[in-house]
Structure 1
Amino acid sequence: MSILAGSATPQLIARQFKFTEGPAVDRAGNVFFTDQPNDKIWKYDTSGKLSVFLEKSGRANGLYFDEKGNLLACADEQNQLWSIAPDGKVTVLLKDVQGHRLNGPNDLWLRPGNGGLYFTDPYYQRDYWTRTAPDPGLGGQKLYYLPKGQPQPVVADDQLQKPNGIVGTPDGRQLYVADIKANKTYRYQIGADGKLSGRQLFVAQGSDGMTIDHEGNVYLTGKGVTVYNPAGQQIQHIDVPADWTGNVCFGGKDRKTLFITASDAVFILPMRVHGVQ
């Protein structure tokens, strides 16, 4: 059975951005996404209305909502992690690792019920940075875990070339992380203490952003959206009329709308399946 709602194809919502990224859904089903070069976070509500949620967003990239309704953001203007309250007030969660500047936090996922935060930290040179190279004291591009209430993260995996997209299962037991440079996506088991084990190759395809549906299918991005079942078998490829598809999430009141950020545009696609976050 197809994961799509009938013969649906991606529907253009708007093409007025520079580069869209980081879609995240709140409890009501509204989707928030970034236009990183223009330093804004946008809101696409369940009625189909677009509005600016936050100007001066710290050049936010990946986004994710916590259980209190705060919007967590990879703010790579100053290479920080932010928590943005519903009224737009910003709290800096993390600004460095043991005094060393992060490469540029890219994407993040919050473990349900645990409050622990996983994030990827690849290095992509930005034209708004004054620096031109990574902090050598950081020791590379890594996957990190920030335990709830702790001021500093721990390294979850330092054997990735350029970690990027990340998503976990709703039971909090498995984590998927894309190594975009190696063109691979891995699956890990998550321990009670947040430590990862049992890394295995999920598919020989990397990804920018990613999401998961209620059947456990994993959605990878790049050239369109490619969907794999939990066994790592491709079950769908969704063509998106854009040079690059950056990220995806499920939105809408019933979480049955796939929201797609694709270069200068955003699209929606009605689905049979629904999202889990």
Structure 2
Amino acid sequence: MSERDFLELDERFNRCVRRSEKVQQLFTGCRWAEGPVYVPAGRYLLWSDIPNDRVLRWDETDGSVSVFVPSSNYANGHTLDREGRVLSCEHGSRSVTRIEHDGSVTTLASHYQGKRLNSPNDVVVKSDGSIWFTDPAYGIDDDFEGHAASSEIGACHVYRIDAQTGECTIVADDFVRPNGLAFSTDEKRLYIADSGVTHLKDGPRHIRVFEVHGRELRGGEVFATCTNGMFDGFRFDDAGRLWAGAADGVHCHHPDGTLLGKILTPEPVANVAFGGPQNNQLFICATTSLYAVRLPVTGARRPAAPSENESTRSNP
């Protein structure tokens, strides 16, 4: 392994990276790169350049980069729903939105009990179609990543949007600054980062894990604490290992929480996404740049949608 690109902390990390591979810079020129999502149908990657208020598009076929959304409402995190539509967390509009197949935009959530959300940050979609997102205050703290404003809700929570009714409910209310989130490969657990150290001295810089029970979360113990900076966005591979952005690169954690090793980058990492034709390319949003490295592991595949009976049983 190259000392420049990888740091092994546990011998099991050897199965997660390939010695011949290097971390490649695909693009630079951002002010704060975030929220990558790979779109298989188009063979491209989308990611946010939040302070520049744009979403960029990297074309896998020729390596070109173009502006996908020039005025993105200071979009941050993105994901795809089960129909391949792009969901976005917008700091500027303080909402979660969806780009329809015809190019129109639908607002999925902007308020909770009549009060505006803070600034949705990251979003995931469960196999039953429900949408789960975090809502810290980074987009209203100042005018760098959105528009400075006071929080109407007065706290930072994690929310769920029901697939059938569109109702937005709180599923976790004990975070300082909820940030990245992702379901385990079997969707029995939801992992959520708390980057509250940005606002509290000795505040949280960890990822917590919750058990998923239908519409509710239970538990919430600390899965891992960041050893350099704080955790931001993260994703799972097909073996249940967690790959998380941190100040010195991407940290790879075993399902038991052990830090196996790191992919080292010259800039702090905000978020990651698996993609590529074989789903084994890890795209890395790191401050001003988009990087990528090919791995001998593949990103977690989305579970099949539950049957009507299963959905009924899991959502009493």
Q: 1:183 aligns with which of 205, 213, 217?
A: 205
Q: Is the 8 A contact 2:92 2:147 kept in 1?
A: no
Identical aligned pairs, as a percentage? Answer: 29
**Range that drifts further, 87-96 or 175-184:** 87-96
What TM-score, normalized by structure 2, do the two folds share? 0.82
Q: 2:90 aligns with which of 48, 67, 75?
A: 75
Q: Is the 8 A contact 1:20 1:265 kept in 2?
A: yes
Secondary structure of the residue that 2:240 maps to in structure 1?
Answer: coil
Larger Rg: 2
Match of 2:105 in 1: 90
Q: Structure 1 residue 151: deviation in Å?
A: 3.4
Q: 1:276 aligns with which of 300, 305, 308?
A: 300
Q: Which runs of 5+ in 2 are unaligned?
A: 1-13, 197-203, 302-316
Secondary structure of the residue that 1:165 maps to in structure 2?
Answer: strand
What TM-score, normalized by structure 1, do the two folds share? 0.93
Deviation per residue, 1:101-145 (Å, 9 max, x gap)? 111000011112x0111111111113165543211xx14111111
Match of 1:26 in 2: 39
Match of 1:133 in 2: 150
Could you tell me which amino acid in structure 1 is paired with residue 133 of structure 2? Answer: F
Q: Is the 8 A contact 1:165 1:178 kept in 2?
A: yes
Could you tell me which amino acid in structure 1 is paired with residue 18 of structure 2? Answer: A
Match of 1:110 in 2: 125
Match of 2:233 in 1: 209
Partner Cα separation in structure 1 for residue 291 and residue 225 of structure 2: 26
Q: Is the 8 A contact 2:38 2:273 kept in 1?
A: yes
Query: Structure 1 residues 209 and 59, CA, compared in 2 at 3 Å: closer, same or farther?
Result: same
Q: 1:230 aligns with which of 255, 258, 282?
A: 255
Partner Cα separation in structure 2 for residue 71 and residue 190 of structure 1: 24
Q: Show structure 1 runs of 4+ deviating over 6 A.
A: none
Partner Cα separation in structure 2 for residue 7 and residue 194 of structure 1: 44
Could you tell me which amino acid in structure 2 is paired with residue 133 of structure 1? Answer: S
Q: Is the 8 A contact 2:185 2:240 kept in 1?
A: no
Match of 2:157 in 1: 142
Q: Number of residues paired by the alignment?
A: 272
Q: Which runs of 5+ in 1 are unaligned?
A: none
Could you tell me which amino acid in structure 1 is paired with residue 194 of structure 2? Answer: D
Match of 2:278 in 1: 254
Q: Is the 8 A contact 1:102 1:121 kept in 2?
A: yes
Q: 1:166 aligns with which of 181, 184, 192?
A: 181
Q: Is the 8 A contact 2:118 2:137 kept in 1?
A: yes
Q: Structure 1 residue 238: deviation in Å?
A: 1.1
Deviation per residue, 1:168-193 (Å, 9 max, x gap)? 123222111001111111111112x2
Partner Cα separation in structure 2 for residue 149 and residue 264 of structure 1: 39
Query: Structure 1 residues 98 and 146, CA, compared in 2 at 3 Å: closer, same or farther?
Result: same
Secondary structure of the residue that 2:164 maps to in structure 1?
Answer: coil
Q: Is the 8 A contact 1:60 1:76 kept in 2?
A: yes
Q: Is the 8 A contact 2:109 2:161 kept in 1?
A: no
Q: Is the 8 A contact 1:54 1:88 kept in 2?
A: no
Q: Structure 1 residue 22: deviation in Å?
A: 0.2
Secondary structure of the residue that 1:196 maps to in structure 2?
Answer: strand
**Range that drifts further, 154-163 or 29-38:** 29-38
